[in-house]
């Protein structure tokens, strides 16, 4: 029987699953009819004697019928126009336009560079704009791209953005929702996700970035028709409150809202440590710093919240959040990902490889790849990591055996070809793209990686089915083109296993460099301390996790922000604009020592060449 090493963390449940970001002190979350009345009043004021126009531009995936019902109930005298029904192209034409982006593959497509107008009939947009401009009564335009029509009218209007996080969209799709205007409610979820990831969300993000500076109100569409029951009433805040809150967030430490998901190999560690739903069979993943999919909870002084995508912060505050050099290198994209992989009392991850940079650029349109690492937050006494090839591997024989395993002819003997290394708590395994790898069972992995997170080529999945009863996709052709066969046992052990270098030691504070590999753009430092450790963002975003100790607080030496409390295993972001900061034990801390791991982008710190 395997046992995990004892953890110095506080009691179960100390991990905060719903962290919030404060709204400005004077801001309030509006609900129901009063919220719509306020939006209508602004539209009427701006109309200055014309027929008022209210525009509700909704992210694809928002529940338009329910939003429309709420508007109609609150504003019965206003004519409600569904712009999607009125002007969107037939789905057959949309499918034809995006066929090259979707490809025939179940998982992978090619990133779209389309804009939202590509999904609409230009003549019908123009006709609708003329009709709206000539209307004698108040009008509400509702739907993704509603702003396209409003701008054509030339009339003044009030603008509401009904925004959603991608994780909520995925939950709805799993429950049977279709993609935007598609007739695919029963389609494989991986194909639904592919359509969103490569096309819909790219186009939608491109569109809403044109709205942020003009939005008068932001509506929490996550709470309208939510996949999971919620007691939260859909809230609305002013555009000014939204912009101020995220501008403030980009200048102080914060956490995004983590989400947890079961999987075929999932374990039990997170369920117990984080107080998760005991009825779930397991939890495989926790995405606790993946701004592309995570959300932020904006909270007012009375405790009411609105949920927004954390990407809104990345899009609107890229320099303050990322730092000027990181922004110059990656654009408005958060390049660092932290997530958990829980195999405690579970199974092995799939044997896999991530694409090389040139391959991901040429094949999928991504401009950087998924380099990563496994930091062992906890481990059983039999934990191990599969990493790199054994010496003298016969490439052709291995690929032949993988293909035989894929057809069900015989299981693949991974240990015949791939090294295994014992893994213990606080070990760090580096995994540059092109390296064959897998985490074994009975491990609690903090995965520190670059963000393009769906580009995993599975080579062997131990003969398992997914939780949906369908075999999980294996991509041997992609995998074979990206395996770096020269990464043998000697190279792997020297280059990728526990490359710890002491950077400095001052009293009880020890700073160590633990990676990543020179081929990867992420730098990771570990700080051990008993009382406090001083840090400086040096002009680039920092992402940290408390990997040892019960709780700490992040403080500003100049009092620029209020102390921010962090518990064991919580990931937090320190924006580049923060500059100097200190991580110290709290007055309640009972642990004797603490450790954080901190990731940043190499070559983007002030003073670096």
From the CB of residue 590, how many other CB atoms can be counted at a distance below 10 Å?
11
Residue 447 C-alpha from the chain's centroid: 13
* Contact by Cβ (8 Å): 142, 206: no
Q: Terminus-to-terminus CA distance in the chain, angstroms?
A: 50
Residue 535 to residue 542: CA distance in whole angstroms: 10
Taking Cα atoms as reference points, which of 598, 579, 597 lies closest to residue 539? 579
The string of pLDDT tens digits covering residues 244-281 is 999 999 999 999 999 999 999 999 999 999 999 999 99
Clarify whether residues 476 and 544 are in a common domain.
Answer: no
Return the sign of the alpha-carbon dihedral for residues 403, 408, 410, 414. Answer: positive
Taking Cα atoms as reference points, which of 12, 529, 29 lies closest to residue 274? 12
Q: E strands, 109-244, where?
A: 139-142, 158-163, 217-220, 235-238
Q: Which helix (H) or strand (E) holds 437?
A: strand 437-439
* Contact by Cβ (8 Å): 544, 572: yes
DSSP string, 270-295: HHHHTT--TTSS-B-EEEEE-TTT-E
- What is the b/e burial string over 548-562, where b = at least 16 CB atoms within 10 angstroms of the residue's CB? bbbbbbbbbeeeebe
The string of pLDDT tens digits covering residues 297-333 is 999 999 999 999 999 999 999 999 999 999 999 999 9
Clarify whether residues 482 and 572 are in a common domain.
Answer: no
Residue 55 to residue 169: CA distance in whole angstroms: 22
pLDDT higher for 239 or 13? 239
Clarify whether residues 88 and 210 are in a common domain.
Answer: yes
- What is the b/e burial string over 301-310, where b = at least 16 CB atoms within 10 angstroms of the residue's CB? eeebbbbbbb
On whether residue 512 sits in a domain, the answer given is: yes
Residue 84 to residue 125: CA distance in whole angstroms: 10
Residue 219 to residue 298: CA distance in whole angstroms: 12
**Average pLDDT of the chain, as a whole number:** 94
The whole-model pTM stands at: 0.95
Is the previous residue joined to 516 through a cis bond, with omega within 30 degrees of 0?
yes
Average pLDDT of span 377-387:
98
Cβ within 8 Å of residue 362, ≥6 positions away: none
Give how many domains the chain has, as a whole number: 3
Average pLDDT of span 76-105:
97
On whether residue 346 sits in a domain, the answer given is: yes
Q: Give how far Cα 111 sits from Cα of 200, 215, 217, 452, Å.
A: 10, 27, 30, 12
User: Three-class SS string for 294-356?
Assistant: CEEEEECCCCCEEEEECHHHHHHCHHHHHCHHHHHHHCCCCCEEEEEEECCCCCCCCEEECCC
Q: Is the pLDDT at 538 greater than 50, yes or no?
A: yes
Residue 335 to residue 357: CA distance in whole angstroms: 14
Q: What angle do CA 439, 566, 263 make, to 5 degrees?
A: 30
On whether residue 248 sits in a domain, the answer given is: no
Average pLDDT of span 589-600:
97
Average pLDDT of span 188-199:
95
Taking Cα atoms as reference points, which of 521, 587, 566 lies closest to residue 252? 566
CATH number at residue 489: 2.60.120.10
Give residue 448's pLDDT: 97
Taking Cα atoms as reference points, which of 58, 55, 216 lies closest to residue 150? 55
Cβ within 8 Å of residue 500, ≥6 positions away: 428, 512, 513, 514, 526
The string of pLDDT tens digits covering residues 335-376 is 999 999 999 999 999 999 999 999 999 999 989 899 999 999
On whether residue 529 sits in a domain, the answer given is: yes
CATH number at residue 219: 3.40.50.300
> Computed over its alpha carbons, how large is the radius of gyration of the chain?
25
Give residue 6's pLDDT: 43
DSSP classification of residue 576: G
Clarify whether residues 524 and 430 are in a common domain.
Answer: no
Domain with 346 in it: 336-496
Clarify whether residues 345 and 210 are in a common domain.
Answer: no
Q: Is the pLDDT at 438 greater than 50, yes or no?
A: yes
Clarify whether residues 370 and 436 are in a common domain.
Answer: yes
Residue 492 to residue 389: CA distance in whole angstroms: 8
Average pLDDT of span 111-132:
97
Q: Of 189, 217, 234, which marks where a domain is finished?
A: 234
Give residue 473's pLDDT: 82
- What is the b/e burial string over 110-134, where b = at least 16 CB atoms within 10 angstroms of the residue's CB? bebeeebeebbbeeebeebbeebbe
Give residue 606's pLDDT: 64
Residue 155 C-alpha from the chain's centroid: 37
From the CB of residue 247, how many other CB atoms can be counted at a distance below 10 Å?
15
Q: Is the pLDDT at 12 greater than 80, yes or no?
A: no
- What is the b/e burial string over 317-330, where b = at least 16 CB atoms within 10 angstroms of the residue's CB? bbbbbbbebbbebb
Q: Per the structure block, which two tokens stand in for 481? A: 């083109």
Give residue 451's pLDDT: 85
On whether residue 389 sits in a domain, the answer given is: yes
Give residue 447's pLDDT: 97
Residue 3 to residue 425: CA distance in whole angstroms: 12
Q: Is the pLDDT at 132 greater than 70, yes or no?
A: yes
On whether residue 143 sits in a domain, the answer given is: yes
Q: Of 234, 258, 281, which marks where a domain is finished?
A: 234
Clarify whether residues 340 and 447 are in a common domain.
Answer: yes
Residue 497 to residue 396: CA distance in whole angstroms: 27
Average pLDDT of span 138-143:
98
On whether residue 295 sits in a domain, the answer given is: no
The string of pLDDT tens digits covering residues 456-488 is 999 999 988 777 776 778 999 999 999 999 999
Residue 481 to residue 213: CA distance in whole angstroms: 44
Give residue 231's pLDDT: 77
Average pLDDT of span 380-385:
97
On whether residue 13 sits in a domain, the answer given is: no
Q: What percent of the chain has a predicted confidence (pLDDT) above 90?
A: 90
Clarify whether residues 488 and 509 are in a common domain.
Answer: no
Q: Is the pLDDT at 609 greater than 70, yes or no?
A: no
Clarify whether residues 174 and 150 are in a common domain.
Answer: yes
Indicate the range of 64-73, 421-430, 492-501, 512-521 predicted with least confidence: 512-521
Q: Give how far Cα 255 sits from Cα of 329, 355, 483, 585, 586, Å.
A: 24, 29, 35, 18, 18
Clarify whether residues 509 and 483 are in a common domain.
Answer: no
pLDDT higher for 227 or 208? 208
pLDDT confidence tier of residue 10, bands split at 50, 70 and 90: very low
Q: Is the pLDDT at 8 greater than 80, yes or no?
A: no
Q: Of 199, 234, 269, which marks where a domain is finished?
A: 234
Beta pairing partners, 79: 139
pLDDT higher for 406 or 142? 142
Clarify whether residues 353 and 404 are in a common domain.
Answer: yes
Clarify whether residues 463 and 512 are in a common domain.
Answer: no
* Contact by Cβ (8 Å): 369, 360: yes
Q: Is the pLDDT at 490 greater than 60, yes or no?
A: yes
Residue 525 to residue 503: CA distance in whole angstroms: 9
Beta pairing partners, 515: 524
Residue 529 to residue 535: CA distance in whole angstroms: 12
Q: Which helix (H) or strand (E) holds 582?
A: strand 580-585
């Amino acid at each position: 029987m395997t046992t995990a090493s004892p953890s110095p963390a506080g009691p179960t449940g100390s991990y905060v699953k719903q962290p919030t970001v404060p709204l400005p002190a004077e801001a309030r979350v509006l609900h129901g009819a009063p919220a719509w009345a306020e939006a209508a009043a602004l539209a009427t004021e701006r109309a200055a004697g014309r027929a008022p126009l209210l525009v509700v531009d909704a992210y694809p995936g928002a529940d338009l019928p329910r939003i429309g019902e709420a508007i109609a109930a609150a504003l019965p005298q206003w004519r409600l126009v569904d712009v999607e029904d009125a002007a969107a192209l037939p789905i057959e034409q949309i499918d034809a336009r995006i066929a090259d982006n979707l490809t025939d593959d179940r998982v992978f497509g090619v990133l779209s560079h389309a804009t939202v107008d590509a999904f609409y009939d230009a003549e019908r947009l123009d006709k609708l704009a003329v009709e709206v401009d000539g209307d004698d009564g108040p009008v509400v335009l509702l739907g993704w791209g509603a702003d396209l029509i409003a701008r054509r009218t030339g009339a003044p209007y009030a603008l509401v953005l009904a925004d959603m996080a991608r994780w909520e969209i995925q939950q709805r799709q799993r429950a049977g929702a279709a993609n935007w205007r598609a007739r695919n409610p029963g389609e494989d979820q991986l194909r639904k996700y592919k359509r969103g990831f490569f096309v819909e969300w790219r186009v939608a993000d491109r569109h809403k970035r044109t709205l942020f500076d003009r939005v008068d109100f932001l509506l929490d569409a996550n709470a309208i028709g939510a996949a999971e029951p919620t007691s939260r009433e859909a809230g609305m805040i002013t555009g000014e409150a939204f912009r101020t809150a995220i501008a403030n967030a980009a200048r102080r430490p914060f956490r995004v809202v983590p989400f947890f998901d079961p999987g075929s190999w999932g374990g039990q560690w997170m369920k117990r440590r984080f107080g998760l739903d005991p009825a779930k069979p397991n939890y495989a993943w926790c995405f606790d710093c993946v701004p592309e999919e995570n959300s932020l909870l904006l909270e007012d002084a009375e405790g009411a919240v609105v949920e927004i995508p954390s990407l809104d912060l990345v899009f609107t505050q890229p320099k303050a959040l990322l730092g000027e050099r990181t922004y110059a290198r990656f654009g408005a994209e958060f390049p660092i990902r932290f997530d958990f992989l829980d195999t405690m009392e579970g199974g092995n991850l799939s044997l896999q490889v991530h694409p090389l940079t040139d391959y991901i650029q040429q094949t999928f349109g991504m401009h950087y790849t998924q380099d990563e690492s496994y930091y062992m937050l906890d481990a059983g006494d039999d934990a191990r990591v599969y990493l790199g090839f054994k010496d003298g591997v016969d490439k052709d024989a291995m690929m032949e055996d993988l293909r035989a395993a894929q057809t069900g002819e015989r299981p693949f003997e991974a240990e015949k070809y791939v090294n295994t290394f014992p893994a213990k708590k606080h070990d760090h395994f580096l995994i540059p793209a092109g390296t064959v790898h897998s985490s074994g069972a009975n491990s609690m992995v903090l995965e520190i990686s670059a963000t393009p997170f769906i580009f995993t080529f599975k080579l062997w999945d131990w003969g398992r089915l997914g939780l949906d009863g369908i075999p999980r996709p294996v991509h041997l052709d992609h995998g074979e083109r990206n395996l770096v066969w020269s990464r043998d046992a000697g190279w792997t052990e020297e280059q990728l296993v526990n490359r710890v270098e002491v950077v400095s030691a001052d009293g009880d504070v020890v700073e160590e460099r633990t990676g990543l590999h020179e081929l990867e753009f992420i730098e990771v430092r570990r700080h051990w301390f008993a009382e406090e450790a001083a840090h400086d963002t040096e002009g680039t975003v920092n992402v940290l996790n408390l990997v040892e100790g019960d709780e700490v607080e992040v403080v500003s030496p100049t009092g620029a922000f209020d102390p921010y409390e962090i518990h064991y295993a919580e990931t937090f972001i320190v924006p580049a604009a923060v500059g100097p900061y200190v991580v110290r034990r709290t007055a309640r801390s009972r642990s004797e020592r603490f450790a954080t791991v901190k990731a940043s982008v190499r070559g983007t710190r002030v003073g670096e060449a």
